[in-house]
């Protein structure tokens, strides 16, 4: 397939998340350039970016390879999200625009409707859109970028089950939006922290080639 050079990084990242490039597999510039219909220059730049993001590692005698995070590293992603998403929700209460609120309210209405119908695939997509919009409403490009990167990595390493209590999940989304609408940053932060805690058990590690955590004296639980 042929894609614009500036989109190579996103395309390779999406394929890594989707499992097209399995964990531990080699990523050669020549093959990637052929796959995406570009020269090797944007591929080389994409690999550098993806290495900085943690999706790619450079190995001696092997070159660029898809990373193989440990179980501890995967668990750390959920912990980081649980810390950063409440921060984003609190900021969104102070910085959101009317356009953000309109989208968030629409997503909550649609999510609650789909939850009542039991549409799992729709709910996954709508949930991702909800959290992405809330992150953008925080008005902090750096925080939004961090949260987006976390969501990509979590999607890469975890299977996310739609919880049995999907109706409750979307009720929580609605309460967060209500707090953001009122400009109540502390309540928005608290509700998002509870939501992150309750949703964590729905994440199951993808077991393919997942490495065990390295047991060192400095490793903590």
The residue from 35, 66, 97 where one domain ends is 66
For the whole model, what pTM was predicted? Answer: 0.82
Same domain for 93 and 58, yes or no, is no
Q: Residue 215 pLDDT more than 90?
A: no
Across the range 38-44, mean pLDDT stands at 94
Name the band, by pLDDT with cuts 50, 70 and 90, for residue 210. low
- pLDDT value of residue 124: 83
**Same domain membership, residue 76 and residue 44:** no
Is residue 40 domain-shared with residue 149, that is, in the same domain?
A: no
120-141 burial: b if 16+ Cβ within 10 Å, else e: eebbeebbebbbbbbbbbbbbe
Asked if pLDDT for residue 219 goes beyond 60, the answer is no
Last residue of a domain, one of 66, 86, 117: 66
The pLDDT mean for the chain works out to 89
In the chain, the number of structural domains is: 2
Residue 211 counted as domain residue: no
Least confident of 134-138, 148-152, 193-197, 217-221: 217-221
Domain that holds residue 172: 71-205
* Residue 50 placed within a domain: yes
Q: Would you say residue 215 lies in a domain?
A: no
> Does residue 143 sit in the same domain as residue 171?
yes
CA-CA distances (angstroms) from residue 104 to 91, 124, 196, 213, 220? 15, 15, 18, 38, 37
The CATH number that applies at residue 42 is: 1.10.10.10
pLDDT at 217 over 50: no
Residue pLDDT, tens place only, 49-96: 999 999 999 998 889 999 999 999 999 999 999 999 999 999 999 999
50 shares a domain with 92? no
Are 21 and 107 within one domain?
no
CATH of the domain at 141: 1.20.120.530
Half-sphere exposure of 172 (CA within 13 A, CB side): 20
Is 159 domain-assigned? yes
Mean pLDDT of 10-38: 95
Residue 15 pLDDT more than 60?
yes
pLDDT digits (tens, 9 = 90+) for 158-189: 988 765 688 999 999 999 999 999 999 999 99
Residues 84 and 48 in one domain: no
- How many residues in total does the chain contain? 221
Please give the pLDDT value at position 209.
52
């Amino acid at each position: 397939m042929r894609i614009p050079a500036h989109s190579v990084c996103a395309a390779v990242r999406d394929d890594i998340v989707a499992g097209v490039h399995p964990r531990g597999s080699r990523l050669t510039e020549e093959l990637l350039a052929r796959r995406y219909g570009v020269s090797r220059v944007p591929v080389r730049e994409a690999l550098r970016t993806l290495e900085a993001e943690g999706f790619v590692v450079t190995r001696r005698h092997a070159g660029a390879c898809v990373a193989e995070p440990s179980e501890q590293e995967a668990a750390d992603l959920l912990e980081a999200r649980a810390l950063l998403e409440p921060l984003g929700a609190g900021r969104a209460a102070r910085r959101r625009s009317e356009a953000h609120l309109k989208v968030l309210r629409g997503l909550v209405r649609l999510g609650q409707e789909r939850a009542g119908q039991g549409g799992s695939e729709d709910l996954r997509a709508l949930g991702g859109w909800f959290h992405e919009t809330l992150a953008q409403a925080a008005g902090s490009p750096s925080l939004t970028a961090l949260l987006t990167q976390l969501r990509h990595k979590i999607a890469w390493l975890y299977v996310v089950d739609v919880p049995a209590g999907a109706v409750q999940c979307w009720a929580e989304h609605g309460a967060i939006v209500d707090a953001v609408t009122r400009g109540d940053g502390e309540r928005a932060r608290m509700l998002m922290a509870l939501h992150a805690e309750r949703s964590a058990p729905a994440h199951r590690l993808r077991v393919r080639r997942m490495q065990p955590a390295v047991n060192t004296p400095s490793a903590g639980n």
